[in-house]
């Protein structure tokens, strides 16, 4: 699976062009599941562009609330009506820049699943935490919040994305071995609670994935694809990464 997180980028014209280019370049088919996640206001336009393709639509965030006096929020139900099938929750930028706690992320996870959408749950550590030997503790705590809120079985209807914060948008990338070690830890942690869920859950890697390193990353035993940031804004690069995930 490959999911493109377009973040806060693009005009209507540019995202329509990008989506159309990806559709055209993948017209012959792709064995990997492919998701694109534009900003809220571009969802309708991108949905139209990918309607005749295998590409799925995702959102970058969702409110934990279903309705009410929450100005500026967008509910998971509204995203479902827009044609979304996936929603990113707990992205490191949401945690770091907007102060989202693991409990708040867990509430969003529950809200997304309650309307039948698939959460892409992001977990990962900062450089300071990695250098302090805290990677596994940080990732475990982020997972525990969701498991406590929804039960481990809910992960069978979700995607987990390991995104080391120090490798996002920095050009730095965890080595395949470093990434695999954390992915293996995540799968083992889930397996300690439910082995069947651990076998079925897809765990993506996110952190400066590009065409030059995608194949080596995706060849690791526990890496099932990628959550792609900057490289997803270039159709040729994104498609090459999708091919690597096949």
Q: Give the active site residues.
A: 91, 163
Q: Are 177 and 136 within 8 A, CB to CB?
A: no
Cα–Cα distance, 158 to 225 (Å, whole number) = 14
For residues 134 and 176, what is the distance between their CA atoms, to the nearest angstrom? Answer: 19
Residue owning tokens 């993948």: 26
The CA–CA distances, whole Å, from 46 to 13, 24, 90, 227 equal: 10, 14, 23, 18
Kindly report the backbone phi and psi dihedral angles of residue 37, in degrees, each rounded to the nearest multiple of 5, phi listed first: -125, 90
């Amino acid at each position: 699976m490959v999911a493109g997180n377009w973040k806060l980028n693009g005009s209507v014209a540019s995202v329509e062009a990008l989506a159309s280019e990806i559709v055209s370049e993948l017209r012959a088919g792709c064995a990997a599941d492919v998701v694109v996640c534009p900003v809220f206001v571009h969802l309708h336009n991108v949905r139209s562009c990918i309607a005749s393709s295998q590409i799925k639509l995702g959102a970058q965030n969702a409110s934990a609330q279903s309705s009410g006096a929450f100005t500026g929020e967008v509910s998971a139900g509204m995203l479902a009506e827009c044609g979304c099938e996936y929603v990113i929750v707990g992205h490191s930028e949401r945690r770091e820049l907007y102060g989202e706690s693991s409990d708040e992320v867990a509430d969003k996870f529950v809200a997304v699943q309650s309307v039948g959408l698939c959460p892409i749950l992001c977990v990962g550590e900062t450089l300071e935490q990695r250098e302090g030997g805290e990677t596994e503790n940080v990732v475990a705590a982020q997972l525990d919040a969701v498991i406590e809120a929804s039960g481990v079985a809910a992960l069978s209807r979700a995607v987990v994305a390991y995104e080391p914060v120090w490798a996002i948008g920095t050009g730095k990338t965890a080595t395949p071995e470093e990434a695999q070690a954390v992915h293996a830890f995540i799968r083992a942690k889930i397996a300690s609670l439910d082995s069947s869920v651990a076998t079925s859950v897809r765990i993506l890697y996110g952190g400066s994935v590009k065409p030059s390193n995608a194949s080596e990353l995706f060849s690791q035993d526990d890496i099932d694809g990628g959550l792609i940031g900057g490289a997803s804004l270039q159709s040729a690069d994104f498609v090459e990464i999708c091919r690597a995930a096949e």
